[in-house]
Amino acid sequence: MIKPAARGAAVVAGSAALLAAAAVLAMAYGAVRIPLAEVVRALAGAGTDETAIRIVRAVRLPRTVMGACVGALLGVSGAVMQGFLANPLAEPYVLGISSGAALAVALAVLGGAPLFVAGVYVLPFAAFAGALATLAVVYALARAGGRVKAPTLILAGVVVGSFLSACLMAAATAMDRRYFEILSWLMGHLQPATAGTDRWVAAYAVIGIGAAMACARDLNALQLGEEAAAAMGVGAETAVRRLFVLSSLLTAVAVAAAGPIGFVGLVAPHAARLLGGPDHRWLLPASAFGGGALILLADLAGRMVFAPAELPVGVVTALLGGPFFLFLLVRQTRRTGAP
């Protein structure tokens, strides 16, 4: 029998290998196909095909970094939310958190806020405020009698998310000349807005996911209930507040970078949990690698299916994740008997 730790480590390693393979494929395929060997040479700076080097290093590498980081952020955010809310259906997009973050970004742009201040990518800070406020509202609406019930939480998230999405479209319309640019971003856009954006997103992802990994013990304790968590030296209320803020921050960076891409935070943690078990020491990194791979493969499919036209990555993830969410919802309803 495989020990849980060995099983979890194997899933993390497999997820990392899948992400690496997806990254290579993302840089090799598209409107212009580049041989894998040429991709490796271009990345190493040893290539001889100048066109291939420019495509790989100037276009596809930044896009791949963005996709991997955004997917990792969404995967970990979903895993954290499912952990501290004790709800397998919790996910930034479903709960309306992504819409809140996106609305805050749109309002910041509409107000003339710059992308960078003193060389620092600042849009995630606006998105963080929107994400945190939205999660607070959804949590408050779903809390009754000191408890948060799963069906109520999902319903509150859908209603709040729909309202914020309507506000978001109104804000996009008010932008007039930038309407189509904003609309493209709302459907999922992995190409960095400016040079260097991908590096800032990568830096934020490393910090945010590192912080989430430091909270793995708290998440494991919360799974056992408040009394068991207290016996382990984990204050449930304090831990939930900290995880509340952390999940909002992870979502905010992903949304500011690529728009409100849905269902990655649902699919990646579920796959990681199914294969590797519920221990967050393994679940979080597996969700990060799996989320990154999912985004890259979805983006690759969007570029290949209708080439040379591109299907936005958010549309692809919605096509995949929507039926998956309905499957989980039906299964959860049958198990609990909740409407």
Rounded to 5°, angle at Cα 102 from 98 and 31:
90
Cα separation of 201 and 19, whole Å? 17
Element spanning 147, H or E: strand 147-148
Structural contact between residues 191 and 54, judged by C-beta atoms closer than 8 angstroms: no
Per-residue pLDDT tens digits for 26-70: 999 987 888 888 888 888 877 667 888 888 988 899 999 999 999
Cα separation of 129 and 241, whole Å? 15
Cα separation of 196 and 156, whole Å? 37
Structure token pair of residue 185: 């971003």
Is the per-residue pLDDT at 81 higher than 90?
Answer: yes
Burial letters for 134-155: b for 16+ Cβ neighbours within 10 Å, e otherwise? bbebbbebbeeeeebbbbbbbe
Cα separation of 155 and 141, whole Å? 10
Is the per-residue pLDDT at 2 higher than 60?
Answer: yes
Provide the mean pLDDT of the chain: 88
Structure token pair of residue 309: 């036209």
Q: What is the pTM of this model?
A: 0.92
Given pLDDT bands bounded at 50, 70 and 90, which one contains residue 339? very low
In sequence order, the 6+-apart residues with CB closer than 8 A to the CB of 308 are 31
Which whole number is the average pLDDT over 76-94? 90
Structural contact between residues 91 and 153, judged by C-beta atoms closer than 8 angstroms: no
Structure token pair of residue 225: 């209930």
Cα separation of 317 and 78, whole Å? 15
Per-residue pLDDT tens digits for 247-291: 999 999 999 999 999 899 999 999 999 999 999 999 999 999 999
14-336 maps to CATH 3.40.50.360: no
Q: Percent of the chain, pLDDT > 90? A: 46
